[in-house]
Structure 1
């Protein structure tokens, strides 16, 4: 575990990571116990068909155990599941030293999540990047926030995934229902409490980011956005199955019909929407098949930080007859000395560290008209 602190620079981050490491052994025991309850044949089936370890845990709704182990690497999770599949349920204890499990240089990209839950991606320069565990990946995101110099008291995490992953989710749910619906464990583990890959990934990153940034995640004006794209999605966002004339769902007259079957529950204090796999399958044309095709390329990832719009209202007084209300240019020549829009916006923009501004006033006046009295209301 000694190497897990190497990427953090300040003492507070080291304290957070050390605290997580201290409880890691107990969490691993709970995880191992949960794995023993999984059906070995189904696990072996999923692994042999190209599912990564985290996708298997996601499918079987083992959320809390994974979320409480942000330091556990993908190789360790894979080793635990392979042990289950090979020994028919008799899972040996994982090694105390997690570094003893060797990570292969070559990563076989998961056919379901396209590598996003393996923390494998191509960066803005299209260079392949691979992170061992959730907290390592979260550290990369936290570094972006810190390098850009943002001062925050909370954050909101946003994810955008390619439509391929949504299609893959539906395909694997359909496959599992078709093959295992008669098994007792299927009725116990599958239908009601499963969440989407998107929510699972968001939950996996939220707590590590809270530790590394030392702020809480809640509805905030500061947004961290992870945008994943994949090469089999065209530039206009159309998925290959749609380009081939294959619609994955029938049109439903009552859109609330699906909503009734998608419940909201809480995992680790966060509200997530359950997967309405049974109802979704009823409205699929069968264009998706499982096992899925082999994935030769992982997703590309762009990490962006931004703030939502800040609205400032007030009243302005204009004493000069040479200042227009808004910026006024005719044939490339400025009319007047300045504008109320530029004076107000140019003052507020640096304070808010914004990229641009817009100015709206209640009514207009000519450039040679002064605005006296109580002033004119404006919103910027």
Structure 2
């Protein structure tokens, strides 16, 4: 009989007597095979009665007047309403219990241990409701993961049942381990996964369907807090405050909420910024927006629309100031798209999406737009501090200069700087002195007070501060090198030397 043996008879009878459902009987008897749990509930119930009836017939031949150790309850099935109530929970009505001996064909009362979760909440009708929710959300997916959250009160009922199991097995001279019990969540997934997989026609692996089961009145305790308390409480103290065996509830535990979420996907590329009044991220100070848009928004908003996501996270390899342009091959960026409904895009569709972004504005341009993995994002982040960057700066000097006055800059290699945190970013970065390196410089004379400086630097170098000195917080600086006050009028990022993402044929 379905994974139970002769030695399990007394324990199975006791569990049935105090209102445990057939799947909880399997769990507490330590049945570790998944197949029996997947049998329809009514079939399991019938097998339990057949299993125990045979035992009763054998006992009857030995002792016709033996009294059961617990009050027998006729198990009857709640009549499930066709729809959902106003809270979105399954409605059910519970028929009156009886002291008559349980009949094979009698539907069950609500299980006193799992509160009905292993009864109606894992049968095909419930699975169809879950799948209707998934399908109505219009997700693209090729696999799924089912995640379930149970109320903490269940842990108390499980503990009460366990104490009785331990007591019953002790009569047989056995010392069971609590770890031998099949956990409710594990048994539930054994049953629900193949049913969902069949109904959705996809394997169980990647997509997440969250089902939260709870009472109408929420618990004020977390599940972990209850588990820790149960580990500490003495058995005699527990029995004083909680019924052993646990009482049968009048109504089953209801599914309050079914949520569908898709795993995040990542889109990467490189962007050029041509405007000197466009911040990389939304510029909002004290709740007031200073500029109408940003690089982040210009790139991400079309992605949010096309991928149909809940939210997004934008990141890039470094950042430029609002008045700094990014030229050349652009700056690498990545966008995490959270809970996308659409996930499958062909190469041509990504090219069309890239063109849509580029046609929407003249302030930025995107290239190499592509889907990437979460792991690949790490290679972009490496460039923030480890790679080199090339800049072009328009420099003004207070003292009149000639071409020969700046030619020595072209010969300088690996110039070491000590940069104290700039005053302009001190509100968001800790005060520290950061060593940085200017690898090479090339100067282009313009007139007596202006020249253009091309620099190849270590990532993280503050170029503006290197030019004007930041009140001596960067040493050396252009002013100290030229022996005059210097300032920067324009700055462009010419290259970010991070070989990522892979270049595409755009």
TM-score range, shorter-chain basis? 0.5 to 0.7
The residue correspondences of 1:157-168 to structure 2 (distance < 5 A) are: 157-168=146-157
Please say if residues 250 and 285 of structure 1, whose CA atoms lie closer than 8 Å, have aligned partners that are also in contact. Answer: no
Q: Aligned-residue CA RMSD in angstroms?
A: 3.6
The residue correspondences of 1:353-368 to structure 2 (distance < 5 A) are: 353-368=308-323
Partner SS for 2:328: strand
Which residue of the partner structure matches residue 250 of structure 1?
Answer: 232
Deviation digits for residues 276-305 of structure 1, max 9, x if unmatched? xxxxx99x9766552113323322311111
TM-score between both structures, scaled by the size of structure 1: 0.65
Deviation digits for residues 304-329 of structure 1, max 9, x if unmatched? 11023333343321112343211224
1:298 matched to 2:287? The reply is no
Q: Please point out which of 313, 321, 324 is paired with 2:279.
A: 324
Please say if residues 141 and 303 of structure 1, whose CA atoms lie closer than 8 Å, have aligned partners that are also in contact. Answer: yes
Distance 2:287 2:159 in 1: 56
Higher relative contact order (CA 8 A, sep 6+): 1
Please say if residues 325 and 364 of structure 1, whose CA atoms lie closer than 8 Å, have aligned partners that are also in contact. Answer: yes
Please say if residues 11 and 168 of structure 2, whose CA atoms lie closer than 8 Å, have aligned partners that are also in contact. Answer: no
Distance 2:294 2:186 in 1: 47
Distance 1:332 1:197 in 2: 48
Structure 1 residues 285 and 41, CA gap change in structure 2 (3 angstroms): closer
Deviation digits for residues 108-149 of structure 1, max 9, x if unmatched? 3211101111125xxxxxxxxxxxx63332222112111111
Q: Please point out which of 126, 139, 143 is paired with 2:128.
A: 139
Gaps of 5+ in 1: 1-29, 92-101, 121-132, 252-280
Structure 1 residues 364 and 119, CA gap change in structure 2 (3 angstroms): same
Please say if residues 160 and 243 of structure 2, whose CA atoms lie closer than 8 Å, have aligned partners that are also in contact. Answer: yes
TM-score between both structures, scaled by the size of structure 2: 0.50
Partner SS for 2:46: helix
Which residue of the partner structure matches residue 64 of structure 1?
Answer: 34
Distance 2:242 2:263 in 1: 37
C-alpha deviation, 1:55, in angstroms = 1.0
Partner SS for 2:230: coil
The residue correspondences of 1:1-380 to structure 2 (distance < 5 A) are: 31=2, 34=3, 37=6, 39-62=8-31, 63-69=33-39, 72=40, 74-88=41-55, 103=77, 105=79, 106-107=93-94, 108-120=109-121, 134-183=123-172, 193-218=180-205, 220=206, 222-231=207-216, 233-234=218-219, 236-238=220-222, 247-250=229-232, 289-301=243-255, 302-329=257-284, 334-380=289-335
Deviation digits for residues 71-130 of structure 1, max 9, x if unmatched? x2x333223323433442669xxxxxxxxxx9553443211101111125xxxxxxxxxx
How many residues align structurally? 288
C-alpha deviation, 1:51, in angstroms = 0.9
Deviation digits for residues 214-244 of structure 1, max 9, x if unmatched? 11112x2x2111111224643x4447x96xx
Larger CA deviation: 291-300 vs 195-204: 291-300
C-alpha deviation, 1:193, in angstroms = 4.6
C-alpha deviation, 1:349, in angstroms = 1.9
Greater helix share, structure number: 1
Please say if residues 34 and 190 of structure 2, whose CA atoms lie closer than 8 Å, have aligned partners that are also in contact. Answer: no
Structure 1 residues 176 and 39, CA gap change in structure 2 (3 angstroms): same
Distance 2:179 2:285 in 1: 64
Distance 1:232 1:88 in 2: 41
Structure 1 residues 327 and 307, CA gap change in structure 2 (3 angstroms): same
Greater strand share, structure number: 2
